[in-house]
Amino acid sequence: MELVITGLFVGVLFGFVLQRGRFCMNSAFRDIVLFKDYALLKTVAAAILVSMAGFAIMELTGVITLAPKPLWWGANILGSFVFGIGMVIAGGCASGITYRVGEGMVGAMTAVLGLTIGGYITAWGFLKGFRESLQGSTKIMIGEANPTLSNLLGIDYAVLALGIFVVVVVLWFILAWKKYEADKGWGWLTTGFLIGLVAIIAWPLSAATERNYPLGITKGWIVIAKKLLNLTNSEVQLGWISWLIIGTVVGAFIAALIARELKLRVPPIKRLLITFGGGLVMGFGAVLSGGCNITHILSGVPQLSLGSFLAGISIILGAWLASYIMFVRPMKEAESGE
Amino acid sequence: MTEEITPTKTLDVCGEICPYPDMNTMTTLKKMQKGDVLEVLLDYPLSVERIPRNLKKQGHKLLSDEGLGGPNHRFLIEAYGLK
């Protein structure tokens, strides 16, 4: 019962912040090359830094035990690169499409359906063997531990994380504070801070239900699918992360309702098929790499996990490649064509 | 005030997913003459915030942003006119 309540609670907070802050890593990475728009990228950076400081303090005080994801270089590079391509096709990252389900975006619903199916077959279906062999054959450890910047350099995690936090914040104050102006809406700093705060709250509550990790998206959806396929089997249960996802959709729904942004929006049919396909690719990539953008970039990078760094870079490169092919090149051709 | 402006062209991107509202707006504006007014009808909240932010970089001018209830917005944009 505890996992239902705390999962839903954190999920509602997460969904509310995602919707009001328009938090989407697909936009964050794609908009750099497409519009030279850096607003959401700054939000992502702020969220990572705030989480990092929070995780470090919680680790120092014994509230949490770090749980960096494994480094499977082959699976991280291939899975996350493909995930990055998929999210551009789907029109949103794992968290972006999830909160937009609550807003009533039908294109996001088909993307989530694709994500769930793609993830399911890679986790438990016919791609399971391929996934396990690629993950197993490219796994690297440092001693008995999953590699992090901290155990690579031999510096205590809390010291290193807080050090990075302080250096970046000080540099930002020196270089950019005067140029800071609030955007329309919540603004990147507010959103980034609140997303980081949700991640900090999430971790100990999730760990209390024996899932020792902060936020995630994809696993939550595929476990919901598993339960729906095994309704009568009481051994298949929704875990904390699935309740988090249900809460996230509800939270985004509430936020959209309050902001009067709730509307069932249906794009052209062709677009629905494309976002479904993009979702399939995302699901495959996320499960192969051991997580989506939330698991790796938002939750793993603040733990200084090397697997998550590799996954994060691969997601960005995949997103840039797909953005160039799908949007940047056609835009240039359209402009020079006439 | 905005009723007095007659748009040269109308673009309806309601229902569209990210980033089509922005992209279609930008590519349409680039093909318009200087001083032409583009009317954009949209209902995607992220684009409602992002389009005004990025218009300025291209030299276009947002004449008005009218809320039409719910997430629906009507933008009137004056093209910078490279053509």
Nearest CA in chain A to B52: A184
**Do residues B70 and B43 lie in contact, with contact meaning Cβ atoms separated by under 8 Å?**
yes
Nearest CA in chain A to B12: A267
More confident residue, A336 or A168: A168
The ranges assigned to domains in chain A are 6-337
pLDDT of residue A182: 67
Average pLDDT, integer, range A36-58 = 96
Q: Which of A191, A200, A209 is nearest to A22 (CA)?
A: A191
The pLDDT tens digits for A111-167 are: 999 999 999 999 999 999 999 999 999 999 999 999 999 999 999 999 999 999 999
Nearest CA in chain A to B72: A261
Cβ burial, residue A318 (10 Å; 0-12/13-18/19+): buried
CA distance B58 to A245: 39
**Do residues A203 and A211 lie in contact, with contact meaning Cβ atoms separated by under 8 Å?**
no
- Cα separation of the two ends of chain B: 28
Q: Considering only CB atoms, which chain A residues are within 8 Å of B28? A: none
Element of type H or E holding B9:
strand B9-12
**Token digits of residue A221:** 């959806």
Q: Considering only CB atoms, which chain B residues are within 8 Å of A91? A: 17-19
Tell me: pLDDT of A59 over 90: yes
- Smallest CA–CA distance, residue A264 to chain B, in Å, is 8
**Looking at the complex, does the CB of residue B72 fall below 8 Å from at least one CB of chain A?**
yes
Q: Which of B4, B30, B34 is nearest to A338 (CA)?
A: B30
**Which segment, A34-43, A170-179, A205-214, is predicted with the most confidence on average?**
A205-214
The pLDDT tens digits for B17-56 are: 999 999 999 999 988 999 999 999 999 999 999 999 899 8
Q: Which of A243, A192, A168 is nearest to A8 (CA)?
A: A243
Least CB–CB distance from B16: residue in A92, A185, A267: A267
Tell me: pLDDT of A290 over 80: yes
CB burial of A214-244 (b: ≥16 within 10 Å; e: otherwise) equals: bbbbbbbbbbbbbeeeeeeeeeeebbbbbbb
pLDDT band at A266 (very low <50, low <70, confident <90, very high): very high
pLDDT of residue A333: 85
CA distance A228 to A331: 42
Decide the pairing of beta strands B73-78 and B61-67. antiparallel
Q: Considering only CB atoms, which chain B residues are within 8 Å of A259? A: 45
Best mutation target, A16, A18, A22, to test chain B (most B CBs within 10 A): A22
Least CB–CB distance from B17: residue in A36, A261, A267: A267
Catalytic residues of B: 18
Q: Considering only CB atoms, which chain B residues are within 8 Å of A22? A: 45-46, 49
- Smallest CA–CA distance, residue A184 to chain B, in Å, is 6
Residues of A in CB contact (< 8 Å) with B are 22, 24, 26-27, 30-31, 34-37, 39, 91-92, 96, 103, 105-108, 183-185, 256, 259-263, 265-268, 271, 275, 327, 331, 334-335, 338
Least CB–CB distance from B49: residue in A184, A256, A265: A184
**Looking at the complex, does the CB of residue B22 fall below 8 Å from at least one CB of chain A?**
yes
Cβ-defined contact of A260 to B71 (cutoff 8 Å): yes
Cβ-defined contact of B45 to A260 (cutoff 8 Å): no
**Do residues A313 and A296 lie in contact, with contact meaning Cβ atoms separated by under 8 Å?**
no
pLDDT of residue A180: 77
CA distance A112 to A19: 16
Q: Considering only CB atoms, which chain A residues are within 8 Å of B31? A: 335, 338
Nearest CA in chain A to B45: A261
Least CB–CB distance from B70: residue in A263, A267, A335: A263
Question: What single-letter DSSP state applies at residue A305?
Answer: B
Decide the pairing of beta strands B9-12 and B37-42. parallel
- Cα separation of the two ends of chain A: 62
Question: What single-letter DSSP state applies at residue A180?
Answer: -
pLDDT band at A216 (very low <50, low <70, confident <90, very high): very high
pLDDT band at A184 (very low <50, low <70, confident <90, very high): low
Tell me: pLDDT of A183 over 70: no
Least CB–CB distance from B27: residue in A27, A108, A335: A335
Rounded to an integer, what is the distance from CA A71 to the centroid of its chain? Answer: 17
Q: Considering only CB atoms, which chain A residues are within 8 Å of B27? A: 331, 334-335
pLDDT of residue A314: 98
- Between helix A39-60 and helix A25-35 the angle, nearest 10°, is 140
